[in-house]
Structure 1
Amino acid sequence: MSESEKGYNILCSLLILFCFLYILPANPVYAEQTVEYWYEKGQKLHTQGLCGDAILAYEQLLNLDPHNSAALNNIGNIFSDMGNYSAALDYYERAREGNLNDPIILGNIGRVLFLLGRYEEAEEILQETLIIDPEHEIALYYLATTYYKLNKYHDAECLFNKTLILNESFALAWNNLGNVYLMQGENDQAYSSYLRAVNEDRNLTQGWYNLGILLFESGKFCQSARAFYEVKMLAPKDTDALHKEQLAQKYCLPHE
């Protein structure tokens, strides 16, 4: 075989290899087309705070599996994070169609119904959730808070205490338990709950605010001023807290 023929054969082999490599991605089944790929991508994008891109990834998944409850629930979570509770509810309801008794989905429905102010509906769904999973922490918390909104203070107190048995560091539950005690005229227990709330989460603005109000009404003006100072530091634009701090300072006596 002449040198020119050898060179021609090598060139042909390289061309065949190149064509094979070029057309390989056109074969039908690859990771980019799987449910698992789009689910993981959606989760990653949501974690990165890229909510719009995460929704698009989950929508790609739904093109492959239109009734995927996990993806529908996660899109609901994204809209919930964005404060669009009506859209979140739509996706949670769609997720429920494929998984009627999933306590996570039911709990999410109850939570956004509460956030939408639909307390009676939230109560019903959250009760249903707790029948399936009696230790569902978020369902317990939101049902307790729903009872508080519906003026069912004894029921609220019981459920907040159950929530705190499961999670002693749940600052918002301590704060809301304080609200329940306050409505029942149990100021000392309210004070203890608010104090525990801000000890669990030093950035809990509403805990400091509630503590400031209670201390002011109890005549403990210096302590009240310190509580409102914490609010001011966390929320510098809160003019109401600033005014209350100044008022408490006005009545604060050195020997207090």
Structure 2
Amino acid sequence: MFNFKQLLWILTCIFLLAGCATQPGKNKMGSTSSDTKESAQITHDLETMYQLGRKYQDEARFPEAITTYENILSINPNYAEAHNGLGVIYSIQGKFEPALQHLQRAVALAPLASHLRNNLGYTYFLLGRKPEAISEFEQALRLDPGNEKARANLAAIHSKADTTDTTGE
């Protein structure tokens, strides 16, 4: 029976070999129907891997989730949700520099994704960078007024500011 790391290694090798395969003649647009099918299959496989990473993340099995997300990024470095997953995990672990790098990359790749803005804002909030946190939460709410997490985070940052701004002179 294969363990998960062996399975991921095999999948990664398959993806890499598929990318190195010789391609039949291309049409005038530079692609073939087999290119489209291969691309769709890789996209499907990456989504399957991503869902597995999410499962590990939800179960707080962070080493497995990190490995899964890193494998996704080795195949497609522009997979925003894998960057997001790594950013959230690193933020939970208090590893804020890599968290910010991955979350900022995720937002750069998908600037209209409200949940990514919220996650970046929350990491700024944890770092005490309130102006940046507020900006990201507000942007998340502009993109999706129904984003309850962003709304709650914005309320939390404002209520914290209200309780800490009193001075006793």
Q: Calculate the TM-score normalised by the size of structure 1.
A: 0.46
Q: Could you tell me which residue of structure 2 aligns to residue 156 of structure 1?
A: 99
Partner-residue secondary structure (3-state), 1:140:
helix
Q: Could you tell me which residue of structure 1 aligns to residue 151 of structure 2?
A: 208
Are 1:109 and 2:52 matched, yes or no?
A: yes
The 5 A counterparts of 1:138-157 are 138-157=81-100
The 5 A counterparts of 1:1-256 are 100-101=11-12, 102-219=45-162
d(CA) in 2 for partners of 1:138 and 1:176? 11
- Name the Cα RMSD after superposition: 1.9
Q: Percent identity?
A: 22
4+ aligned runs moved over 4 Å, structure 1:
none
Would the aligned equivalents of 1:164 and 1:170 in 2 still touch at CA under 8 Å?
yes
Q: Could you tell me which residue of structure 2 aligns to residue 20 of structure 1?
A: none
Work out which of the two has the higher radius of gyration on C-alpha atoms and give 1 or 2. Answer: 1
Gaps spanning 5+ residues in structure 1: where? 1-92, 221-256
Would the aligned equivalents of 1:194 and 1:207 in 2 still touch at CA under 8 Å?
yes
Deviation at 1:146, TM superposition (A): 1.2
Gaps spanning 5+ residues in structure 2: where? 13-44, 164-169
d(CA) in 2 for partners of 1:175 and 1:141? 11
Partner-residue secondary structure (3-state), 1:168:
coil
**Number of aligned residue pairs:** 125
Partner-residue secondary structure (3-state), 2:146:
coil
Instruction: In structure 2, give the amino acid aligned to 1:125.
Output: T
Instruction: In structure 1, give the amino acid aligned to 2:91.
Output: Y
Q: Could you tell me which residue of structure 2 aligns to residue 75 of structure 1?
A: none
C-alpha distance after superposition, 1:98-135 (max 9, x if no partner):
x7134333222211111111112111111111111101
d(CA) in 2 for partners of 1:187 and 1:203? 22
Would the aligned equivalents of 1:195 and 1:211 in 2 still touch at CA under 8 Å?
yes
Q: Which structure has the higher relative contact order (CA within 8 Å, separation 6+)?
A: 2
